[in-house]
Amino acid sequence: MKNIAGLMKQAQQMQQKMADMQARLDATEVEGVAGAGLVRVTLTGKGALKKVKVDPKLADPAETEMLEDLIVAAHADAKSKLDELTDAEMKNATGGLNLPAGLKLPF
């Protein structure tokens, strides 16, 4: 019975760590850049696109396609950074516990 009580305590601690991690991610913003900084996007910790900043030099109507490509590239850069941050936070919250691949807790 002592083992079960210990396991329950560990589960509660992990649950608290997960809640703390989620709160940190909710407050986090990640910026992605493309075109040598001419396009910047900001994502929330949950991956929602929050802001797009485009250098006025790119406002040429003839360059619309390039601008669209740079926005996509900046978003991909921010998403990659966010994924790395989320993975690090998850590893910290679970104490290095190896969870199944693709398991994205708590969201």
Structure token pair of residue 11: 């589960």
Q: What is the spatial order of strands in the sheet that 49-54 belongs to?
A: 29-34, 39-44, 49-54
Which band of pLDDT confidence, cut at 50, 70 and 90, is reported for residue 104? low
Give CA–CA dist 3/21, Å, rounded: 27
User: Cα–chain-centroid distance for residue 23?
Assistant: 13
CB-based contacts of 55-61 (< 8 A; 24+ apart in sequence): none
CATH number for 2-93: choose from 3.30.1310.10, 3.40.50.2000, 1.10.287.110, 3.90.1150.10.
3.30.1310.10
What confidence score (pLDDT) does residue 60 get? 83
Which band of pLDDT confidence, cut at 50, 70 and 90, is reported for residue 103? low
Give CA–CA dist 8/25, Å, rounded: 26
Domain residue ranges in the chain: 2-93
Q: Is the pLDDT of residue 86 over 50?
A: yes
Give the pLDDT confidence of 22-59 residue by residue, as tens digits: 888 888 899 999 999 999 999 888 888 888 888 888 88
